[in-house]
């Protein structure tokens, strides 16, 4: 579960408050209070599942008596037509909670599915796919959980996870050297990204390496410049390519020899997958 117990409780409550409000008027008006229903949550396209346990928690919060049979675990790649989970219980409560549960699993599975497509483009290389902080506000832990299920590695979760010196930081202090020196003197604890410097040019890359950076974020560089950076700095610092990467360009970028490619699209722009709740009776 990507959320702590209290985080999950808060998230589920917020989801239901947003969608249900004071009650599902249509269901209350049309469905008998004692009616029962069986339903299946089915994939209507190929996908990588993410969020099934969270969807189940949303359902159970509305009605703990609803029987939930989870057929597919998170991280599983399934074909169209596969049943993800089956529900049996009070018809009113199933109808009320349907959209809230579907919204979460469709969105998260969309992220994991798109991420898996990117990963498959570079799996013949040693390059790793990274996600970014480009996420829907308050949805970051869930989005990064879904990207991990798709095969990506998590970059910084938050700004306190490591130092990444970008162009505006450099402009504010005057030079790459001054920014790296200040970061070293700051005495931050070790992180997975060390002191990373965003570089738009090979001149900046050289300055960053000379100043003692641990990692270079090579931003919007051409394939030729990436290859040159790999020739010069591979093994001395970690190399991350970033900026406008798409499913059509990531393969060639990874083949330059960089260690990582970071892609904002996998969490920022992933389309929801098509999952439906089909009623059996």
Q: How far apart are CA 7 and CA 22, in angstroms?
A: 22
Q: How far apart are CA 68 and CA 97, in angstroms?
A: 13
**How many Å apart are CA 215 and CA 205, to the nearest integer?**
10
Which distant-in-sequence residues (6+ apart) come within 8 Å of 177 by Cβ? 207, 210, 211
219 catalytic per annotation = yes
Q: Taking a C-beta distance cutoff of 8 angstroms, is the pair 48, 75 a contact?
A: yes
Among candidate residues 86, 117, 166, 227, the one labeled active-site is 166
Reported as type and span, the H/E element at residue 103 is helix 91-122
Q: Which long-range contacts (CB under 8 A, 24 or more apart) does 155-160 make?
A: 155/130, 155/131, 155/193, 155/262, 156/191, 156/193, 157/133, 158/133
Q: Can 57 be counted among the known catalytic residues?
A: no
The SS3 of residue 54 is helix
Active site (annotated) includes residue 92: no
Instruction: Single out the catalytic residue among 117, 134, 181, 232.
Output: 134
Q: How does strand 83-90 pair with strand 67-70?
A: antiparallel
For 213-268, the DSSP string reads -SEEEEES--HHHHHHHHHHHBTTBEEEEESS--TTTHHHHHTTT-SEEE-SHHHH
Is residue 140 within 8 A of residue 133, CB to CB? The reply is yes
Q: Is 134 considered catalytic here?
A: yes
Q: Which of 40, 53, 86, 99 is catalytic?
A: 99
Check if 99 is active-site. yes
Measured in degrees and rounded to the nearest 5, phi and psi for residue 124 equal -85, -5
From 24, 74, 98, 198, the catalytic residue: 198
Annotated catalytic residue: which of 131, 207, 219, 240?
Answer: 219
Helices (H), 123-220: 140-150, 167-173, 176-186, 202-211
Catalytic residues: 99, 134, 166, 198, 219
């Amino acid at each position: 579960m990507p959320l702590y117990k209290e985080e999950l409780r808060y998230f589920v409550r917020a989801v239901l408050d947003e969608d249900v409000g004071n009650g599902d008027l249509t269901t209350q008006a049309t469905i008998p209070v004692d009616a029962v229903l069986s339903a299946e949550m089915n994939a209507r396209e190929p996908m990588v599942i993410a969020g099934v346990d969270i969807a189940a928690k949303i359902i159970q919060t509305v009605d703990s008596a609803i029987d939930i049979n989870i057929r597919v675990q998170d991280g599983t790649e399934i074909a169209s037509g596969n049943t993800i989970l089956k529900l049996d219980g009070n018809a009113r409560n199933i109808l009320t909670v349907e959209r809230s549960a579907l919204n979460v699993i469709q969105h998260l599975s969309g992220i994991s599915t798109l991420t898996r497509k990117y990963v498959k483009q570079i799996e013949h290389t040693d390059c790793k796919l990274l996600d970014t902080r480009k996420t829907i506000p308050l949805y970051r832990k869930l989005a990064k959980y879904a990207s991990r299920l798709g095969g990506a590695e998590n970059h910084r979760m938050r700004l306190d996870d490591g130092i990444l010196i970008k162009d505006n930081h450099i402009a504010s202090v005057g030079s790459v050297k001054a920014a790296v020196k200040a970061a070293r003197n700051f005495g931050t604890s070790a992180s997975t990204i060390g002191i990373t410097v965003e570089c738009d040019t090979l001149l900046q890359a050289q300055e960053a390496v000379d100043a003692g950076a641990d990692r270079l974020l090579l931003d919007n560089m051409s394939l030729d410049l990436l290859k040159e950076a790999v020739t010069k700095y591979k093994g001395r610092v970690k190399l991350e390519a970033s900026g406008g990467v798409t499913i059509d360009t990531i393969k060639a970028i990874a083949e330059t020899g960089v260690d990582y490619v970071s892609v904002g699209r996998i969490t920022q722009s992933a389309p929801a997958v098509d999952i439906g709740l089909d009623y059996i009776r």
